């Protein structure tokens, strides 16, 4: 029988143990912050009916389908892997509405799948870390500020050296461009020009909007708006063209509330060019960038939507939320040297073995003692010289090696070798667990 080539599918990452442990540390830090702000975890199935996944439209070509080996042609014969966590959330809220308390604060950390071209920082299978606050019929704007506080808390917790949250309100550009009763298609095209402003520059926006025959005063007002981060100036520009200022008023309330919640002002930047998801978000929009690595694009984004589940129910469920593309973030942080990849194992202490036949019960007892003290511990069970056992521990990033021969065990002591600082001490069996804990604290 011929051998099958061992190779992973492109775009489906397989981390080394050290990379996986680094990812798990980030997940723990993110989950802890989400729960600190009162979000509760849910998990939805990896698959949804295609009718659910395609309810929003425009994404069908990216859906990985899952078929059953049968002749059944019912609605469950072909299912789709979810491409984000928002569509499953919408279905979940509608299905369980009578069991939930609103506002419903949920977080979800799961894999998603998208059938797109794999490239640096972009995967076809990746983990998303989402939070959303969903209301029934109404949702206070201060919740939008809460999301800002959570984003900042998360990125501080994972010790990213510098980040900036950029914020705007979808209504500002929409009201400015809609002040002349322009055709909806023309407004949509103009907004797409604005969405590319960060990449193409203001002159390119001016030129493209002029080619679209947008009125000159609206073109100039838009370019001026994109060039300022000042709320008072934005309000003046909108009034100058006869547009309402509801988006500016909302944005001002959200920013002021976020500062009251403790968000450092230097972490926040008003950026009226933020216009992501123009067919989905209806108010506040956020994008988060790593300072010095803005070319990566946004690493955490989201915003306010007026109706989460309009394609499932006539009842209104407004919400606000953000998503962190964790797999992409881990990959980029490691490549940039912002995230250290350390040990390849959670093991903190390795109990080495010497005279295995005579002292194995003692070695297993040492491991039992350390594990009872919540210290991750291995016993080296393969026949090998002590130097090879120490080399194994060092290669895995294990901090401490426990060495005990006949003389040590007769006197109820062990030698603890610190494999990071290359020093060793002799301690009694009763003091071993505390000694290792003190070692790990530094």
For 346, what's the count of Cα atoms within 13 Å in the CB-facing half-sphere?
9
Among 3.30.930.10, 1.10.3720.10, 3.40.50.2020, 3.40.190.10, what is the CATH number of 17-335?
3.30.930.10
What is residue 242's three-state secondary structure? coil
Residues of the chain with CATH 3.40.50.800: 349-440
Tokens 């789709």: give the residue.
80
User: pLDDT per residue over 167-220, tens digit each?
Assistant: 999 999 888 988 888 888 888 888 888 877 777 788 888 998 998 888 999 999
pLDDT at 145 over 90: yes
CA gap 63, 53 in Å, rounded: 8
Tokens 């050290």: give the residue.
18
Maximum Cα interatomic distance, the chain, rounded to a whole number of Å: 92
CATH code linked to domain 349-440: 3.40.50.800
Residues of the chain with CATH 3.30.930.10: 17-335
pLDDT at 134 over 70: yes
Q: Which sign, positive or negative, has the C-alpha torsion 367, 369, 372, 376?
A: negative
pLDDT at 32 over 70: yes
Pairing of strands 377-379, 319-325: unpaired
What proportion of the chain, given as a percentage, has pLDDT over 70? 96
User: pLDDT per residue over 260-284, tens digit each?
Assistant: 999 999 999 999 988 765 567 899 9
Task: State the Cα angle at 45 between 44 and 48, rounded to 5°.
Answer: 110
Question: Could you tell me the strand order of the sheet in which 413-418 lies?
Answer: 377-379, 349-351, 400-403, 413-418, 423-428
CA gap 20, 126 in Å, rounded: 13
Q: What is the DSSP letter of 374?
A: T
């Amino acid at each position: 029988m011929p051998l099958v080539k061992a190779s992973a599918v492109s775009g489906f990452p397989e981390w080394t143990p050290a990379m996986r442990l680094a990812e798990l540390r980030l997940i723990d830090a993110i989950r802890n912050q989400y729960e600190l702000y009162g979000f509760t975890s849910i998990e939805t199935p990896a698959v949804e009916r295609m009718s659910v996944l395609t309810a929003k439209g425009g994404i069908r070509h990216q859906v990985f389908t899952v078929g059953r080996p049968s002749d059944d042609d019912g609605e469950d014969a072909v299912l789709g892997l979810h491409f984000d966590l928002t569509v499953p959330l919408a279905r979940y809220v509608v299905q369980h509405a009578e069991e939930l308390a609103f506002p419903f604060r949920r977080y979800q950390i799961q894999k998603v799948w998208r059938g797109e071209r794999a490239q640096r920082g972009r995967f076809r299978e990746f983990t998303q870390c989402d939070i959303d606050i969903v209301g029934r019929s109404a949702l206070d704007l201060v919740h939008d500020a809460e999301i800002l506080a959570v984003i900042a808390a998360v990125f501080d917790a994972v010790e990213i050296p510098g980040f900036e949250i950029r914020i705007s309100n979808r209504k500002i550009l929409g009201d400015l461009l809609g002040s002349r009763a322009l055709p909806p298609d023309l407004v949509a095209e103009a907004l797409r020009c604005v969405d590319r402003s960060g990449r193409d520059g203001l002159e390119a926006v001016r030129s493209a909007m002029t080619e679209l025959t947008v009125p000159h005063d609206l073109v100039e007002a838009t370019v001026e708006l994109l060039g300022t981060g000042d709320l008072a100036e934005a309000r003046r520009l909108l009034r100058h063209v006869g547009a309402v200022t509801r988006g500016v008023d909302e944005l001002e309330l959200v920013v002021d509330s976020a500062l009251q919640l403790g968000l450092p002002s230097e972490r926040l930047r008003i950026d009226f060019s933020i216009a992501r998801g123009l067919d989905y978000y209806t108010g506040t929009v956020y994008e988060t960038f790593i300072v010095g690595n803005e070319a990566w694009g946004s690493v955490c984004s989201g915003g306010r939507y007026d109706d989460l589940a309009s394609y499932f129910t006539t009842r209104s469920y407004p919400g606000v939320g953000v998503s962190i593309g964790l797999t992409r973030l881990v990959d980029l942080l490691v490549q940039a040297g912002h995230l250290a990849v350390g040990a390849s194992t959670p093991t903190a202490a390795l109990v080495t073995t010497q005279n295995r036949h005579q002292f194995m019960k003692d070695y297993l007892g040492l491991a039992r003692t350390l594990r009872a003290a919540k210290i991750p511990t291995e016993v080296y069970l393969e026949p090998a010289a002590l130097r090879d056992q120490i080399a194994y521990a060092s290669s895995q990033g294990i901090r401490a090696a426990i060495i005990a021969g006949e003389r040590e065990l007769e006197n109820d002591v062990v030698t603890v070798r610190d494999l990071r600082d290359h020093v060793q001490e002799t301690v009694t069996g009763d003091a071993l667990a505390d000694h290792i804990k003190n070692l790990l604290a530094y």
